[in-house]
Chain A
């Protein structure tokens, strides 16, 4: 599948994942919310060549940032800038990892999904603490981050095997990345 078609397909899936993760119920024991968005993001940036992957990351970061944006007395609490920086940094890291492993692999996708989820939640928490002051730490905090991270790890292979036929895999993927030109 041409990268441009995959790019648009993944962009169409972004709002769907955003809505679906909102509709899913919270999980016990500490009412953790499932994070599907990082799983799709990781698949996208691993499957696409660098330039469309960066475009995809920018769109994903804008959607995630705007979705979670909270206003206090008319002022945005976090803004979208942290999400843009976060998603673009992870895109570069995952592109390098993808090069090193000769293309998209399910193990890499699963690990990346878990790491992105964990760092995103941790980053959000630190950002909130920096804005509001104080840094309360307890065991619930770790559960809140670890459970979505673990679920991302488990869900990532599912998404990978559902969508793997959309991208040329492993060595073919690497070749595709080297040859691909994304016509903007």
Chain B
């Protein structure tokens, strides 16, 4: 082994040990740096993915039109294509109106954001959004949609932030059940399945499928009171408490537009 290689190995070992001994504060800064470094790639990738998605939809529409080509007249084809285009615009328009209306009527100060990507980690449920410290975003801010709560901010860089979803075991939310005095802690299971588990309920709680669950808003907590979390799917008594399985109010698999709660109005 050459001297240079030995020196390189020693340097590597020292570097490895140095990184192993870093504290949480330094790691947070490094993670923020990595997110800033990757943000142009993430944003470009998101744009490309969106374009490819719409390209697929266009091709599908064209395929459908081609299948009908033999049966329809030329005018009929043109009108169908126009109709499809208008329907897309109408859907987009309705979606934006709904989002805008929610933002205006909400009692919170909201910052809109777009989901850039879902993190590939298998054991963690988190997404990246296109808002960061430059937009006034800070850690522990709740993130919601017009349907309900989706999570909280855990890491922030200049232009990108990471949102820990409520389906993650580490995202614990104090919750109350509609129409009852039952309160508990809501979080995802360790092996995320898309459902939420509401624990520490009374063993004798009379919960029915379909009952709504909201954030309880404990003092000093992260989440304000009254945000929809989900609906009860089932309830069972455990050894010491009762546990309800909830279906999240927001569709966490198909998130596109979200709002970050930056304060109260």
Contacts and interface: CB of A to CB of B under 8 A. Distances in A.
A and B found bound together: yes
A23 interface: yes
B243 interface: no
Given A23-B49, A182-B8, A77 B20 contact: no
Interface in B173-225: 189-194
22 contacts: A16-B41, A19-B38, A19-B117, A23-B45, A24-B120, A30-B193, A36-B120, A58-B15, A66-B31, A68-B121, A71-B28, A74-B24, A77-B170, A81-B21, A84-B20, A121-B122, A129-B190, A136-B191, A140-B191, A140-B193, A141-B191, A144-B122
A76 B119 contact: no
A18 B34 CA distance: 11
Contacts of A136: 189-191
SS class, residues of chain A in contact with chain B: helix
Interface residues of A, number: 61
Interface bracket on B: 35 or more
A170 interface: no
B16 A76 contact: no
Interface string A94-118: 0000000000000000000000000
A79 to B, nearest CB: 7
B12 A55 contact: yes
Interface string A20-40: 111111100011111111000
A153 to B, nearest CB: 16
A22 B120 contact: yes
A170 to B, nearest CB: 23
B75 interface: no
A34 B170 CA distance: 22
Contacts of B189: 136
A125 B124 CA distance: 10
Contacts of B121: 33, 67-68, 124
Nearest to B121: A68
B221 to A, nearest CB: 13
Interface string B111-143: 000000111111110101000000000010000
A12 B208 CA distance: 54
Interface in B147-174: 154-155, 164, 169-170
